[in-house]
Amino acid sequence: MDGPMTALSVLLAVTVRWAVSLYPYSGAKTPPMFGDYEAQRHWQEVTLNVPVQEWYFNSTDNDLLYWGLDYPPLTAYHSLLCGYIAHLINPDWVALNSSRGYESLHHKLFMRATVLVADLLIYIPAVILYCSHLQETSSKRKALLSFCILLYPGLILIDYGHFQYNSVSLGFALWGIVALSRGFEAFGSLAFCLALNYKQMELYHSLPFFCFLLGSCIKKGITGWGFLLLLKIGVTVITAFSLCWIPFLTDIEQILQVLRRLFPVGRGLFEDKVANVWCSLSVLLKIKSVLSPEVQLQLSFACTLLGVLPSCMKLTAHPTMRGFKLSLVNCALSFFLFSFQVHEKSILLASLPACLLLSELPLMATWLLVTSTFSMLPLLQKDGLVMAYMITTLIFLLASATFLSFHEKTSEDSLKLRPFCTCVRRYLPWFRMNESLVKLLFFSSMLTMAALTATSCVLTPPPALPDLFPVVISVISCIHFLIFFFYFSIVHIWDNVDARPKKKVA
């Protein structure tokens, strides 16, 4: 890669991140629960002051109703590390019970810095390494591609505005993808285990990782080198999970309690307005009232499984890197659209692999990334991040249009739809991909999102429909995600493996 240009890209990306961090955060000055900022601070308080065996249990010093820890052990260890550093700087920041709702300029600076450090150590290096290993791409284009990926507004707004550490889990997952692209299956498995042990939502990516590794083992010969590879991967996964869960393996109740906290099925099919199928359908049919919780769980499981099955089968049979990235998008979208208890921020799981497809499918990847950010608008409005949302989205669109020319890539070949269109033309000879129509749909979509953004910010909804704008945004976003899901599934299923040069592409 072009060293100076890459350094400049990282510097500009960090500048944008820190500029967003100057905005408000989730729950600022809104007692009694405050928001995600307080949740992260409270976890530092709990892990530092409460014995490890009590981290996931309700007690006098650990009220689970007040931001109880509900992420896997690696998140807890990260919170403990941050809590220890916070205690060294100012013990009041993490004082047991008395620090609830703590807010100060210095503490905000510390918390923002912890996000940036994690980003610099894990996510940003993985992006640079991924781009540097791309084949048939100039050094300049690799640097520009890394710049566009690092400018993805959704991740920046949630981590540096709303306040979370998604760059850690997504960064570990990306390290796993990079490792697998270079043939380091054991290291890739280890990296993904770390991602999964940091955030359980990485289950969205688990099936593609499993199918790619299984397909690779079968390809090497399941009774020969493939079996040895499978054994090595198995030992790596078991060891990684055992090390992460050591403090909680003392008895079965510890394990069950952690799992209950990680998978709170009692919360129902969905909570807040989220751009998935169940929330959108509830506008017409109150699913949560019509179906029992057990049926809701079974229905969401069945739909999610049906959604991921075609892509996973194709990936197992043909474990290519492009297929792997497409499968990551498809499975993440299927989980987001159909699975049980989805949060609006979970769309970041589909956005990561979409970022990795910016060089191959610039139009559709950019479109998905912009839509994913738009789908979180109600949350961003609540946090006072609308201006940051508009500025970062415009910067991302401008950078992608300038450096990737995504708006010009509308042909069948650019959209990787030639195999599918050829198949359709066997039965419908008149069928042709209309490039003007694709452009019209894209710009109409952008205008719709811009209009809804302006409307939701300027107008007050009628008293009888207080959630009008969040619902409309969720439904519009859901329709987009369904289209993206079908598009990326078609591209993957009709991907002609034998017709492509057999070169390793990261």
Are 298 and 219 contained in the same domain? no
Angle at 497 between CA 491 and CA 498, to 5 degrees: 145
Does the residue 276 lie in any domain? no
Q: Is residue 421 part of a domain?
A: yes
Average pLDDT over residues 488-498: 86
Residue 9 contacts residue 147 (beta carbons within 8 Å):
yes
> 2-11, 110-119, 231-240, 315-324: which range is least confident on average?
2-11
Mean pLDDT of the region 184-198: 97
Residue 502 has pLDDT above 50, yes or no: no
CB contact at 8 A, 328 and 353: yes
Same domain, 191 and 304: no
User: pLDDT tens digit string along 206-226?
Assistant: 999 999 999 999 998 888 899
% of the chain exceeding 70 in pLDDT: 98
Asked which of 202, 233, 263 is the last residue of a domain, the reply is: 263
The SS3 assignment for 62 reads: strand
206 and 68 assigned to the same domain: yes
For residue 267, the model assigns a pLDDT of 72
Rounded distance, CA 331 to CA 307, Å?
7
Same domain for 298 and 208? no
Q: pLDDT category, 500, cuts 50, 70, 90? A: low
pTM, whole model, 2 decimals?
0.94
pLDDT classification of 196: cutoffs 50, 70, 90: very high
**Would residue 269 count as lying in a domain?**
no
Instruction: List all residues 6 or more positions away from 273 whose beta carbon is below 8 Å from its beta carbon.
Output: 279, 344, 378, 467, 470, 471, 473, 474
Structural domain of 103: 1-263
Q: How confident is the model at residue 319 (pLDDT cuts 50, 70, 90)?
A: very high
Q: How many domains does the chain have?
A: 2
Residues 259, 312: one domain? no
| Domain identity same for 330 and 436 | yes
- Same domain for 291 and 219, yes or no, is no
| 104 and 192 fall within a common domain | yes
Give the residue from 263, 298, 319 where a domain finishes. Answer: 263
* Residue 275 in domain: no
In 376-467, alpha helices (H): 377-382, 386-404, 418-425, 435-458
Tell me if 472 is assigned to some domain: yes
Burial group, residue 29, by CB count within 10 angstroms (0-12, 13-18, 19+):
exposed
Inside any domain, residue 49: yes
354 and 450 within one domain: yes
**Residues 245 and 327 grouped into a single domain:** no
* Segment 430-472, tens digit of pLDDT: 988 889 999 999 999 999 999 999 999 999 999 999 899 999 9
Structure-block tokens of residue 323? 């297929």
pLDDT digit string (tens) for 290-308? 888 888 889 999 999 999 9
Kindly state the average pLDDT of the residues 101-128. 96
Domain assignment of residue 271, yes or no: no
| Cβ count within 10 A of residue 231 | 11
Average pLDDT over residues 99-107: 94
**Residue 499: pLDDT band by 50, 70, 90 thresholds?**
low
Question: In the listed set 263, 297, 327, which residue is the last one of a domain according to the structure?
Answer: 263
Phi, psi of 62 (to 5 degrees): -145, 80
Q: Give the pLDDT of residue 498.
A: 54
HSE-CB for 11 with a 13 A CA cutoff:
6
Whether 273 is covered by a domain: the verdict is: no
How many Cβ atoms from other residues are within 10 Å of residue 11's Cβ? 9
Alpha helices in 185-292 (DSSP H): 185-196, 203-220, 226-245, 252-262, 277-281, 287-290
Distance between CA 69 and CA 82 in Å, rounded?
Answer: 15
In degrees and rounded to multiples of 5, residue 199 shows phi and psi of -140, 125
Residue type, 372: S
Residues 67 and 186 in one domain: yes
> What DSSP designation does 183 have?
T
Q: Is the pLDDT of residue 136 over 90?
A: no
Verify that 151 and 227 share a domain, yes or no. Answer: yes
Residue 196 and residue 72: Cα distance in Å, rounded? 8
Which pLDDT band holds residue 284 (cuts at 50, 70, 90)?
Answer: confident
Contact 115, 167 (CB under 8 A): yes
Mean pLDDT of 127-148: 90
